[in-house]
Structure 1
Amino acid sequence: MASATLFALFLFSTLTFYPPSTTAQPVTDGDGNIVKNGGRFYILPAGLGDPGGGIRALQTDNESIPLSVVQSPFKGDIGLPIIISSPIRTEFLPEGQVTLSFEHTNREWTVVEGLPEGTLVKVQGYPHTVPGTFVIKKAEAETNRYKLSFCQGVLCGNVAVVRNENWVLAVTQDEPYVFHLEQVLPTSADA
């Protein structure tokens, strides 16, 4: 009897925390346009008064290549193009589980625990990564502003910016980094 109750609670919590894809709302860009699953975007701070610029990769500490995911401290820097995909095979990007990767490296974002600054967002190639998934959700109802979480099972933390010398993205219980998406416009080389 106890195992049946535990299973029912597990099933309830799973359905509560991970809504079915048919009810997932589409993610929109800063202009309110529905974004394409697997599209290329800049992740930019949502408010006009927000410090800093877009998201990029940076070589920090003893890294031999840029493996750290950071917010640029420079207001005019739009960052690097990021590919955002959902495992749910739809034309549009639904709110929920996503993978993120920088277009120029095609390495997915991951999370590493136990670093001096805390639990940080890195790209594949950094040792001792934590299993889990990134989740995108609206930061506020009726807006085009979003936030990311990193979840291990039903335990989730906010992706926030630690404004140290590198402005690294970290998984914390602090206020999340709130952003909007700007679609990367095709260049003549893309045609």
Structure 2
Amino acid sequence: MKTSNAFSFSFFFLLALSALFTGAEFIYDSDGDILNNGGAYYILPPGFGGEAIKGAAIERSPSCQLAVVAEISYDKGWAANIRTPFPVKYITNDYPLNISFANLPSNDCTKTGDWVVIDLIGSEGEPIMAGKFEELKHAVSGYFYIKPYGSTRFYKLAFCYSTASCGYVTLMNTHTTSNRLLTVSLDRSKEPLVFKFVKATSSSGKVASGISMVV
């Protein structure tokens, strides 16, 4: 999640968060190539078919907000840029990360694709929204981390708060549509979102033209 200057972390804090995890390992895409810092990738289920990651508009008076969701889809969803603040070429499992949608289809919710975690007391998890950090109410500062999941090229996503507590990204049913919200949960009994990275190439990197609606 890209934070504002007011909530940016110091270099030493980043190192402290990184120190929570030991044994740095490179992160690989589905082709076996190491993830490039700032590269664009689709976040897809480990197998064939299933849910693709994209945005969905949630109606909020007087406007809407864009939630990050997993949706049953025949396409690859929306590509995401994966970046670390460190001046490195490749991504490892111990680098703090900002994630943002590489491109946004035309919409009235936001012009910024940054993934932002929202603190909602009493929810089943903290939802991930897309938008500008400063404009989203209850936005929390922190960074994402990519962690291996039991097999080469399969991963799960962690989010570490400024308090240094960390949770995994999970999926929560919306009860109204087939879309499932991406949320951050500190409950380790919940199954994390498991995925693989697929390069967003020039021929396959276009995002869908529409936005799904979650009421």
> What residue ranges of structure 1 are gaps of 5+ in the alignment?
1-12
Q: Residues 66 and 182 from structure 1, CA distance in 2 versus in 1: closer, same or farther, beyond 3 angstroms?
A: farther
> What residue ranges of structure 2 are gaps of 5+ in the alignment?
1-15, 105-111, 205-215
Query: Equivalent of 1:124, from 128, 131, 139?
Result: 131
Q: What percentage of residue pairs aligned between the two structures are identical?
A: 31
Counterpart check, 1:26 vs 2:26? yes
* Aligned counterparts of 1:15 and 1:83: Cα–Cα separation in 2: 20
The equivalent residue for 1:57 is 55
Per-residue deviation, residues 128-148 of structure 1 (Å, max 9, x unmatched): 1012111111112x5101111
The equivalent residue for 2:6 is none
TM-score (normalizing by structure 1): 0.78
Amino acid at match of 1:85: R
The equivalent residue for 1:88 is 86
Find runs of 4+ consecutive structure 1 residues off by over 2 angstroms.
13-16, 63-66, 115-118, 163-166
* Aligned counterparts of 2:98 and 2:64: Cα–Cα separation in 1: 21
The equivalent residue for 1:40 is 40
Cα RMSD of the aligned pairs, angstroms, is: 2.7
* Aligned counterparts of 2:65 and 2:53: Cα–Cα separation in 1: 13
The equivalent residue for 1:17 is 20
Amino acid at match of 1:71: A
Counterpart check, 1:184 vs 2:200? yes
* Aligned counterparts of 1:15 and 1:161: Cα–Cα separation in 2: 25
Query: Equivalent of 1:171, from 177, 184, 189?
Result: 184
Per-residue deviation, residues 63-87 of structure 1 (Å, max 9, x unmatched): 735520001122x231011100112
Amino acid at match of 2:158: S
Aligned-partner SS, 2:138: coil
Higher relative contact order (Cα pairs below 8 Å, separated by 6+ residues) = 2
Aligned-partner SS, 2:98: strand
Amino acid at match of 1:103: A
Amino acid at match of 1:25: E
TM-score (normalizing by structure 2): 0.70
The equivalent residue for 1:109 is 115
Given that residues 132 and 150 in structure 1 are in contact (C-alpha distance below 8 angstroms), is that contact kept between their aligned partners in structure 2? yes
TM alignment of 1:155-170, pairs within 5 A: 155-164=165-174, 165=177, 166-170=179-183
Amino acid at match of 1:37: N
The equivalent residue for 1:144 is 153
* Larger Rg, first or second structure (1 or 2): 1
Greater mean deviation of Cα atoms: 35-44 or 85-94? 85-94
* Aligned counterparts of 1:67 and 1:41: Cα–Cα separation in 2: 19
